[in-house]
Amino acid sequence: MRPKHVTLVEVGPRDGLQNEAAPVTAAEKVELVRRLQDAGCREIEVTSFVSPKWVPQMADAAQVMAAIERRPGVRYSVLTPNLKGLEAALATRPDEVVVFGAASEAFSRRNINCSIAESIERFAPVVEAAHAAGVKVRGAVSCALGCPYQGEVTPDEVERVVVLMKAIGVDHVGIADTIGVGTPLAVQRAVERALKHYPLVEVSGHFHDTYGQALANILACLELGLHCFDTSVAGLGGCPYAKGATGNVATEDVVYMLHGMGIETGLNLDALVDAGAYISGVIGRPPASRAARALLARRAAAATAS
C-alpha cells in the first residue's frame, strides 16, 4: 500500500508567511519561490487572493504572482475564498486555485465570515469559473481533527464537507489539521471519510505540527496509500484565525523521513535547507525544522573543522 513516490505541495510562501508579524517584502517572497524551485519543488502554493483587511501579509498577491519566475513542469497554486479573489487570481495565471472550507461551523465563521453552507454557495461559482478557465480546484477542509473554538470535530463533520465539496465539483480535497491536534488513528479515520468520495490521487494531508504529531500522521496516511501532502519549508506557518497553532510540518523533516524510507520526492534536501535558512534569516528566527537544524549544525561543525 505504501507509495514509492510522494508529491509534496510546498505551502511555505502562503501558509508560512500569512501569519508572520514582521512584514516580508514581495521581493523576498519571490526569492523564496526561486530557491524552492532550485530545490526541486514542483508544486508551490504561492499566495492568497484574500481580503487585505483580513490578512494584510497576502496583500501583495498579484505582485508576487507577476514577479515569480515560471519554470516548466512547476505548478503554481493560490487561495481564492470567493469570486472576487478568483477573478484577481485568474489574471495572474495560476495552475490551481484552492477554496478553503472548514469542518467546524465556528472556524468557518472566524476564518471566512460565513457558515459552512454559505461557504459552499460561495465556492460553487468559483469552481465553475475556475473550470471554465481550465484551472483545477483544490478544497481544503480545515479543522478536520479539532477546532480552536468548537473543540472536538468528528469524522461525520469532515465527511459532510467533503460531500458538499464534491457536489460542487471540487477536484481534490485536502484534509487539514489546522491546529495540529490530530493523532495517527484519528487522522486515518478522517482521511478514510475523504477516500469514500475521492480517489487516492485526489486526497492530500495538511498537518500543522503544534503537538509534534505531523510526521506520525503522515506515516499513518502513507499506510493508507496517500501520496500527496502539504509541507512548509523551515516549518513556517499558521493561520491568523487559529491562534497558538504552530507551523505546518517542515518540508525538510518530511523529505528526511521519506528519503530514509526509500520513497522519492524529487526534492534536494540540502537545497531545501538553504531555502529554509534564507527565509528564516528574513524573518529573524531559526528554522523550526529539526532536520534542517541538525544539517545546519553539521555544516557549521564541518566548516570549523576544515
Where on the chain is the footprint of Mg ion (CB under 5 A)? 15
Contact of residue 191 among ligand HMG, Mg ion, none (CB under 5-8 Å per partner type): none
Q: How far is the CB of 238 from Mg ion (least distance, A)?
A: 7
Question: Which residue is at the shortest CB distance from Mg ion?
Answer: 15
Question: Which residue is at the shortest CB distance from ligand HMG?
Answer: 85
Q: How far is the CB of 248 from ligand HMG (least distance, A)?
A: 7
Q: How many C-alpha atoms does 35 have within 13 Å on its Cβ side? A: 22
Helix locations, the chain, DSSP H: 26-38, 61-67, 83-90, 105-112, 116-132, 155-167, 184-195, 214-223, 251-260, 269-283, 290-305
Judged by beta carbon, residue 85 or residue 182, the one nearer ligand HMG is 85
Q: How far is the CB of 93 from ligand HMG (least distance, A)?
A: 17
- Identify the active-site residue in 41, 221, 228, 239: 239
Q: How far is CA 172 from CA 71, 99, 163, 201, 296, in A?
A: 23, 10, 12, 8, 36
Judged by beta carbon, residue 253 or residue 274, the one nearer ligand HMG is 253
Residues with Cβ < 8 Å from 302, sequence gap 6 or more?
none
Contact of residue 101 among Mg ion, ligand HMG, none (CB under 5-8 Å per partner type): none
Q: How far is the CB of 232 from ligand HMG (least distance, A)?
A: 9
Judged by beta carbon, residue 15 or residue 252, the one nearer Mg ion is 15
Judged by beta carbon, residue 15 or residue 157, the one nearer Mg ion is 15
Judged by beta carbon, residue 194 or residue 295, the one nearer Mg ion is 194
Q: Which three cell numbers stand for residue 61?
A: 498577491
What is the DSSP track for 20-44? -SS---HHHHHHHHHHHHHTT--EE
The secondary structure element, H or E, covering residue 266 is none
Bridge-based pairing state of the strands 96-102 and 75-79: parallel
Where on the chain is the footprint of ligand HMG (CB under 6 A)? 15, 18, 48-51, 53-55, 79, 81-82, 84-85, 100, 111-113, 140, 142, 176, 178, 206, 208, 239, 241
Whether 239 is catalytic: yes
Q: Which three cell numbers stand for residue 305?
A: 573543522
Q: How far is the CB of 230 from Mg ion (least distance, A)?
A: 7
DSSP structure class, residue 288: S
Q: Which three cell numbers stand for residue 84?
A: 472576487
- Residues labelled as active-site residues: 239
